[in-house]
Amino acid sequence: MKINRIVTPYLEANTFVLTKENHALIVDCGAKLEDIKKIVGNNIVDGILLTHGHFDHSRFCIDYAQYFSCKIYADKHITQTMLDKEAIYSEDGEIIDDYSNFVFIDGDKHFKIGNFEVDTYYCPGHSICSMCYMIENQLFAGDVLFDKSIGRTDLKFSNKKQMIDSLNKLDELDFSQLHSGHGEDSTLAMQKKNIAIYKRFLTR
């Protein structure tokens, strides 16, 4: 499986395009459609995964789904964020209210999307709809975990206690590489240290 990362101009959010055997899967939708089309090429897009509903990660999800004729997979709480002008954190209060192409996920699941086996982990704290995805031992964590930090817990629908619970859940996972919603990738060893630091910080 090949992973391409696109750093978007809007808040430098990461969008990922995973390709395998002429199929593709997209994680988050902050990059412009034209940039994604260049990377996807002739691959068939099996689906889109949203790590959460904040605008820097979701802004072009409808455009992607319509162009590639695929579904958008997201946590079932995501509409609470996307329909709220304050919680979505768009620049001009723009919301996302078209859910015709959405498939809502309820908690931790294992399922297949086209050529890809996906495990989902519900990890609220940064947002009420934060979802992490494990694909071939690669963990896509959105804004829950960063290279040397964690997601903010002072935003609308953020929750410090939920973040602690989510860090405990992620601390039990085995993965080879972590791909965050912003910044660089990190390893399991790096994240073991990072999670330990922020679990202490949040509980002090």
Q: What pLDDT digit, counting tens, does each position of 86-95 carry?
A: 999 999 999 9
The three-class DSSP label of residue 144 is coil
CA distance 130 to 54: 10
Q: What pLDDT digit, counting tens, does each position of 104-116 carry?
A: 999 999 999 999 9
pLDDT at 204: 80
pTM of the model: 0.97
Closest CA to 75 of 107, 28, 27, 112: 107
Q: What pLDDT digit, counting tens, does each position of 54-85 carry?
A: 999 999 999 999 999 999 999 999 999 999 99
Scored b (16 or more CB within 10 A) or e, 112-130 reads ebebbebebbbbbbbbbbb
CA distance 25 to 1: 10
Question: CA 40 → CA 51, 59, 127, distances in Å?
Answer: 20, 19, 29
Mean pLDDT of the chain: 97
CA distance 81 to 89: 9
Q: Structural domain boundaries of the chain?
A: 2-203
Fold of the 2-203 domain: Metallo-beta-lactamase; Chain A (3.60.15)
